[in-house]
A and B are shown apart, each in its own frame.
Chain A
Amino acid sequence: MALDAMEKTLRPPEIPLKSYPAKVITLASGEKMVVREARREEVGALLGTLYPLFGVAKDFYDIVAVRMYSEILGWYRYRVANEFVLVGTIDGVIAGLVTSRHVTPKLGMSLHTLTIKRGFRVGAQLFAAKMEHHLEILGEDEVYIVAESPNGFKRWMIEYQLEDRSSLFPEVRHELGGVPTYVLTRPLWDAVRDVKCTGVRPVSAQDLKSSEKLIMPSEYPQIPGFKR
């Protein structure tokens, strides 16, 4: 379908992004989590996965789920430039999601990380995969990162020793609301890569097939008694 002139005007300029090569991580439980890029046509399963969490205030699930929902919708409907979504699946079921944006060839903008399956470091693995995509696949020099929850702050800012550039505000600012901006630089990534980032490539045909069709979780540890 041809785009009308107004829609063309509204759409952001796009930089074609290299795709993220899928990998598989064996979690402590022995389950295999496939980490791969989500496709545009999978937006229904992604949004349907996030929707039930809108009312979960604990650990800021509500704010992260709502923001991710809008980020993924914005990506789908061409209102955010150069966004990518990585998804972690176990037997096809979505275990966690990350969103991020390529701003310039040198700069990435980390958006959100959300974990559904708790207790197996799914969020930590997906965040590391996101940074891997920014610095190793897309070849950026640095990624701007903010934390909106104490868990996020401890995990990203301290464990990665991110550089605090909040004093450079407003010249240096993350797109998310003005909370202090931290930065993952290439030297910082190199220093943590081996202890934070893992996964095996290529993914076997069997494992790839298991994640071919995204399945919305049928239960959420965050929502006892949830029924879809």
Chain B
Amino acid sequence: MIDFSMYDQKEPKIAAYKCLKCGAIYYPAPMVCSSCDARRDPVTGKGWETFDLEGPCTLLSWTRLWNLPEGYSKKNMLFGIVEFENGLRASGQLEVDDPKTGMALHSTVVESDERPGDPVNVFVFTQ
């Protein structure tokens, strides 16, 4: 039987990781759990429970970047670091009109092909 499911359109997601032994959560995942020292596999996810990192978050800091690297053709872009309700943090792009540290945001994930290589999933934090 041929499995065609791999061709299905997938919604872009970014995974966070929970250690199956001690319950510590990570983004991105390390090779060894820093809480219980258990060896984990961040590539296959073996030893981890994965979950989508998404939803409400708070803006910790932000910048408007004017000198964008090769591949980006915008005049400038906003970037930020956020903290999710579960305490995990992430860095990504920011799309709001008037960024303010501490503002409540919502995390979404989009596919981006601006960097060299295969398309990648990117956080976009919006209001």
Chain A contacts to B: CB under 8 angstroms: 158-161, 192
Contacts and interface: CB of A to CB of B under 8 A. Distances in A.
Given A159-B66, A161-B74, 4 more contacts: A158-B68, A158-B73, A158-B74, A160-B75
Pairs A-B, 8 closest by C-beta atoms = A161-B75, A158-B73, A159-B75, A158-B75, A192-B75, A160-B75, A161-B74, A158-B74
10 contacts: A158-B68, A158-B73, A158-B74, A158-B75, A159-B66, A159-B75, A160-B75, A161-B74, A161-B75, A192-B75
Interface string B58-101: 00000000101000011100000000000000000000000000
A173 B33 CA distance: 61
Interface of B: 66, 68, 73-75
Interface centre among B66, B68, B74, B75 (most CB of A within 10 A): B75
Secondary structure at the B interface, as helix, strand, loop or mixed, is: loop
A185 to B, nearest CB: 14
Contacts of A161: 74-75
B99 to A, nearest CB: 17
Contacts of A159: 66, 75
Contacts of B74: 158, 161
Nearest to B76: A159
A112 to B, nearest CB: 23
B120 to A, nearest CB: 22
Nearest to B72: A158
A160 B75 CA distance: 7
B44 to A, nearest CB: 40
A192 B74 CA distance: 13
Nearest to A158: B73
A61 B79 CA distance: 36
A44 B75 CA distance: 38
A192 B66 CA distance: 12
A193 B39 CA distance: 56
A161 B68 CA distance: 13
A135 B95 CA distance: 31
Nearest to A188: B75
Contacts of B66: 159
A163 B89 CA distance: 37
